[in-house]
C-alpha cells in the first residue's frame, strides 16, 4: 500500500467529533431512542444476502452513524480494503498479500500475486480436494488393509483446527453420518488419546493440517498418531501413505515427515491461518459435507465479500459492525464483546471468532511501528444460548461493565430434529427476550408495580441500555455459514484498518513458543536454563519433585 499515511487516529478531527458526540450522548437510553423514533428497526436494519441485521438496539442515532462514517472516511479503511482485494501486500510486517477472498473468487476471475493468477491455483486445489473427498466418502479410498475409511482425524492447531472444527459442528446435519470426524489440537497427549482410543487404525485416516508444517503441537501429535497407526497395523511403513494426507504450504517438510506430496493439498502464504478454513485446511470439512455443500459455503463467503467491497458505508454490514466496535471500545471503554449464538450447532463459533478477532486485532503497535494511543481489539467471548443465560448473563444484565453483544439465531430448526424441532420457538423466544431485556431493562416503577417489597426493588431493577445486534437468518445452511464468517472476517478487517494496526501478523504468539522449547529440557532432564527467573525456576523444581525426578 503506497497511500499517503494519514494523521494518527486520535489526532483526526473526526475522532474528536466522535468524542464530543459521546459526551453529548451521555446516558441517552434506548427506551428514549425507541420512544422518539418508531422507525428504528427499519432505519437501522440491513439485509445482506440471507442475513438480516438489526442494529436498532445499538446506542446510535443518525448523527452517530454519520460521524462513524466520517471517521472511516478519514482513515485508510476503504483504500486498504481495495488493496486487499487487489492482492497488494498489506500484511506489512510479513510482506505478504492478504487474499482469503481469492479462496472463494469465481473461477473466471483473475487476481495476481507476484505475476501469478492465484485464482487458477485455488480452483485446481479445490478440484483435487473434491476428488479426494468423494473417493473417501464413496469408500473408493481404502486403508492399507483394504478396509474403507470410516474415521477422519484432523490434526492441527489454531487456524488449522478451529475453522474446520467449528464448521463441522455448525454443519453437522449436512455431514456424512456414517463416518466419524474428530479434531486433535492440544499437545496434551490426552487429546490424541481420547480421539483415537476407540478407533480402528485400519479404518482411520489422519489429515495433518499445518500451514508451516513446523508447529510443535501438530508435528508431535502427527508423529504419535503415526506410531499408533503403525502399532495397530503391524508396523507396515507403506501403510502411512494410505492413512496420512497433509494440508500445507510447505512441501519439503511434508515429505520429510513421510507423507507423499501427491497426497498433499496446497495453500499459500497469502492465506492467514485464521482465515484459512475455506482453503484446503477445510479438507476434513469437505469430506464430511461433500464438495457441493463446500461450494455452497464458498458462495456464501463470496456474497459477503462482494457486499463488503461494493456497498456504501451506511449499508455496509461489516463496516457498521466494525465501527460500532470502535464506538464502544474507544468511546464507552467497553473491553469485551460477547457473541451469543442461539444454536447448539454453533457451539464452536465464538471460539473460532476468538482467534479470528483477537489474533488479528490484539496489537498495540501501529502500522508505522509506533505504540498506539487508543484501545484496540476487544476480548471476544460467549457460548450458545440458552446455557449462558443460566451462568453469566446475570453480569450482562446487572453488572457494572458494558458488554456489547451479538445475538445470532435462525428461523428454522436444524433439519433432522424430528419432534424436537418443536422446541425451536422456545429457543428463539429466549434470543428475542434477551435482546429486549438488555435494551429496555425494567424500571423501579415497573418492579414496584408488581408488589415487590421496597427493600428488594433496587436488586430487581434492570437498568437496560445494553447494546446488541441481532443477526437472524432463515436457516444455518452452508451458504449462511459462509456469509456469517465473511461478515466477521471483514468486521475484524475494518477495526484493524481504523486502528491502524497490521491485522494479519501474529508476532505475539512467538515468545511463549520459544520459551517453552527452551524450558522443556529443564523439565525432562533437569538441564540448566540460563537466566531463568526465580519464580519459574522454583516452579520447574517443584514440578520435577512432584514427578519424582
Ligand atoms: O501460533 C499461532 C499460529 O501461527 C496461528 O496463527 C496458526 O493458525 C497456528 O499457529 C497454526 O499454524 P500452522 O497452521 O502453521 O500449524
Retrieve residue 527's grid coordinates. 538441564
| 157 pocket-lining for ligand 1 (C-beta < 6 Å) | yes
Output the CATH code of domain 100-289: 3.40.50.10490
Retrieve residue 410's grid coordinates. 435462525
| 516 pocket-lining for ligand 1 (C-beta < 6 Å) | no
Q: Are 274 and 458 in contact (CB under 8 A)?
A: no
Cα–Cα distance measured from residue 283 to residue 394, given in angstroms and rounded to the nearest whole number: 40
Q: Catalytic residue, from 23, 42, 262, 390: name it.
A: 390
Q: Is 238 exposed, middle or buried (0-12, 13-18, 19+ CB in 10 A)?
A: exposed
> Residue 513, Cα to own-chain centre: how many angstroms?
22
Cα–Cα distance measured from residue 186 to residue 195, given in angstroms and rounded to the nearest whole number: 11
Paired residues of 181 in beta bridges? 152
Q: Is 368 exposed, middle or buried (0-12, 13-18, 19+ CB in 10 A)?
A: exposed
Look at residue 6 in the predicted model and tell me its pLDDT: 58
| Polymer length in residues for the chain | 549
- Look-up: residue for cell 436498532? 56
- Please give the helix or strand (H or E) that residue 63 lies within, else none: helix 62-74
Quick one: which atom of ligand 1 is closest to the CA of 359? 6
Q: Is 288 exposed, middle or buried (0-12, 13-18, 19+ CB in 10 A)?
A: buried
Cα–Cα distance measured from residue 352 to residue 185, given in angstroms and rounded to the nearest whole number: 13
Q: Are 216 and 187 in contact (CB under 8 A)?
A: yes
64: nearest Cα among 52, 75, 72? 72
Look at residue 3 in the predicted model and tell me its pLDDT: 47
Cα–Cα distance measured from residue 334 to residue 379, given in angstroms and rounded to the nearest whole number: 10
Q: 374 CA to middle of ligand 1, Å?
A: 27
| 506 pocket-lining for ligand 1 (C-beta < 6 Å) | yes
Residue 136: strand, helix, or coil: helix
128: nearest Cα among 4, 328, 279, 300? 279
> How many CB atoms are closer than 10 A to CB 465?
19
**Helix, strand, coil percentages, rounded to 5, for the chain:** 55, 10, 35
Q: Are 409 and 435 in contact (CB under 8 A)?
A: no
Q: Does the annotation count 513 as an active-site position?
A: yes
Domain boundaries in the chain? Answer: 14-74+313-413+422-501, 100-289, 510-547
287: nearest Cα among 186, 195, 415, 164? 164
> Residue 160, Cα to own-chain centre: how many angstroms?
12
Task: Return the residue whose CA atom lies nearest to atom 1 of ligand 1.
Answer: 509
> Residue 251, Cα to own-chain centre: how many angstroms?
27
Look at residue 5 in the predicted model and tell me its pLDDT: 54
User: Probe ligand 1: pick from 156, 158, 208, 250, max atoms within 8 Å of CB?
Assistant: 158
Q: Are 279 and 297 in contact (CB under 8 A)?
A: no
Cα–Cα distance measured from residue 300 to residue 296, given in angstroms and rounded to the nearest whole number: 6
Asked, colleague to colleague, whether 14-74+313-413+422-501 and 100-289 share their fold, the answer is yes
- Please give the helix or strand (H or E) that residue 471 lies within, else none: strand 468-473
| 211 pocket-lining for ligand 1 (C-beta < 6 Å) | yes
| 438 pocket-lining for ligand 1 (C-beta < 6 Å) | no
- Give start and end residues of each alpha helix (H) in 154-313: 162-170, 189-196, 216-232, 239-243, 251-257, 283-289, 291-310
CA separation, residue 1 to residues 73, 96, 313 (Å): 17, 11, 21
Cα–Cα distance measured from residue 126 to residue 137, given in angstroms and rounded to the nearest whole number: 16
Cα–Cα distance measured from residue 125 to residue 118, given in angstroms and rounded to the nearest whole number: 11
393: nearest Cα among 445, 333, 466? 466
Q: Does the annotation count 454 as an active-site position?
A: no
CATH class entry, domain 14-74+313-413+422-501: alpha beta
Q: What is the sign of the dihedral through the CA atoms of 260, 261, 267 and 269?
A: positive
How would you classify the pairing of strands 45-48 and 336-341? unpaired
Q: 160 CA to middle of ligand 1, Å?
A: 7
CA separation, residue 140 to residues 147, 261, 466 (Å): 10, 20, 54
189: nearest Cα among 238, 143, 142, 155? 155
> Residue 146, Cα to own-chain centre: how many angstroms?
38
Average pLDDT for consecutive 10-residue bins of the chain (549 residues)? Answer: 66 98 98 97 98 98 98 97 97 98 97 94 98 98 98 98 98 98 98 98 98 97 98 94 96 93 96 98 98 98 98 97 98 98 98 98 97 98 96 98 98 96 98 98 98 98 98 98 98 98 98 96 95 97 97
- Please give the helix or strand (H or E) that residue 97 lies within, else none: none
ipTM: 0.98
Start-to-end C-alpha separation, the chain: 55
Q: Does the annotation count 390 as an active-site position?
A: yes
| 210 pocket-lining for ligand 1 (C-beta < 6 Å) | yes
Residues 6 or more apart from 35 whose CB is under 8 A from it?
Answer: none
* Order of strands across the sheet that contains 336-341: 45-48, 51-54, 468-473, 405-410, 336-341, 379-381
Amino acid at each position: 500500500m503506497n497511500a499517503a499515511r494519514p494523521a494518527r487516529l486520535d489526532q483526526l478531527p473526526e475522532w474528536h467529533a466522535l468524542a464530543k458526540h459521546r459526551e453529548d450522548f451521555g446516558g441517552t437510553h434506548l427506551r428514549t431512542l425507541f420512544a422518539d423514533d418508531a422507525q428504528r428497526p427499519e432505519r437501522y436494519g440491513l439485509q445482506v444476502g440471507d442475513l438480516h441485521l438489526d442494529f436498532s438496539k445499538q446506542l446510535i442515532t443518525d448523527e452517530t452513524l454519520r460521524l462513524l462514517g466520517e471517521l472511516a472516511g478519514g482513515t485508510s479503511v476503504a483504500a486498504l480494503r481495495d488493496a486487499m482485494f487487489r492482492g497488494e501486500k498489506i500484511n506489512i510486517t510479513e510482506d505478504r498479500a492478504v487474499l482469503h477472498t481469492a479462496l472463494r473468487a469465481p473461477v473466471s476471475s483473475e487476481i495476481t500475486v507476484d505475476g501469478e493468477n492465484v485464482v487458477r491455483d485455488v480452483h485446481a486445489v479445490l478440484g483435487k480436494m473434491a476428488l479426494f473427498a468423494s473417493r473417501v466418502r464413496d469408500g473408493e479410498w481404502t486403508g492399507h488393509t483394504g478396509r474403507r475409511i470410516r474415521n477422519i482425524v484432523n490434526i492441527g492447531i489454531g487456524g488449522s483446527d478451529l475453522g474446520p472444527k467449528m464448521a463441522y459442528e455448525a454443519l453437522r446435519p449436512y455431514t456424512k453420518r456414517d463416518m466419524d470426524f474428530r479434531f486433535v489440537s492440544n499437545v496434551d497427549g490426552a487429546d490424541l488419546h481420547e480421539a483415537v482410543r476407540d478407533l480402528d487404525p485400519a479404518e482411520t485416516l489422519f489429515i495433518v493440517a499445518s500451514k508451516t508444517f513446523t508447529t510443535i503441537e501438530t508435528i508431535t501429535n502427527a508423529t504419535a498418531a503415526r506410531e499408533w497407526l503403525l502399532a495397530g497395523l503391524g508396523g507396515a511403513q507403506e501403510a502411512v501413505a494410505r492413512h496420512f494426507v497433509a494440508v500445507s504450504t510447505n512441501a519439503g517438510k511434508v515429505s520429510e515427515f513421510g507423507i507423499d506430496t501427491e497426497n498433499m493439498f496446497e495453500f499459500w502464504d497469502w492465506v492467514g491461518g485464521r482465515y484459512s478454513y475455506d482453503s484446503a485446511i477445510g479438507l476434513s470439512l469437505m469430506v464430511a459435507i461433500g464438495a457441493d455443500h463446500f461450494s455452497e459455503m464458498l458462495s456464501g463467503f463470496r456474497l459477503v465479500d462482494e457486499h463488503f467491497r461494493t456497498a456504501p458505508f451506511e449499508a455496509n454490514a461489516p463496516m457498521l459492525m466494525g465501527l460500532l466496535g470502535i464506538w464502544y471500545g474507544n468511546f464507552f471503554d467497553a473491553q469485551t464483546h460477547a457473541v451469543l449464538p442461539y444454536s447448539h450447532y454453533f457451539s464452536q463459533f465464538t471460539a473460532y471468532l476468538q482467534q479470528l478477532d483477537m489474533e488479528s486485532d490484539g496489537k498495540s503497535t501501529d502500522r508505522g511501528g509506533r505504540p498506539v494511543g487508543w484501545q484496540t481489539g476487544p476480548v471476544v467471548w460467549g457460548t450458545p444460548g440458552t446455557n449462558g443465560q443460566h451462568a453469566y448473563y446475570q453480569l450482562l444484565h446487572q453488572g457494572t461493565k458494558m458488554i456489547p453483544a451479538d445475538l445470532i439465531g435462525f428461523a428454522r430448526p436444524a433439519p433432522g430434529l424430528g419432534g424436537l424441532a418443536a422446541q425451536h420457538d422456545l429457543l428463539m423466544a429466549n434470543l428475542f427476550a434477551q435482546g429486549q431485556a438488555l435494551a429496555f431493562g425494567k424500571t423501579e416503577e415497573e418492579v414496584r408495580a408488581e408488589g415487590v417489597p421496597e427493600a428488594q426493588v433496587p436488586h430487581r431493577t434492570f437498568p437496560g441500555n445494553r447494546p446488541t445486534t441481532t443477526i437472524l437468518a432463515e436457516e444455518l445452511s452452508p451458504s449462511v455459514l459462509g456469509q456469517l464468517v465473511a461478515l466477521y472476517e471483514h468486521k475484524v478487517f475494518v477495526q484493524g484498518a481504523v486502528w491502524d494496526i497490521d491485522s494479519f501478523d501474529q508476532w505475539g504468539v512467538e515468545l511463549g513458543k520459544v520459551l517453552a522449547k527452551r524450558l522443556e529440557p529443564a523439565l525432562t532432564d533437569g538441564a540448566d536454563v540460563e537466566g531463568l527467573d526465580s519464580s519459574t525456576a522454583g516452579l520447574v523444581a517443584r514440578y520435577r519433585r512432584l514427578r519424582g525426578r
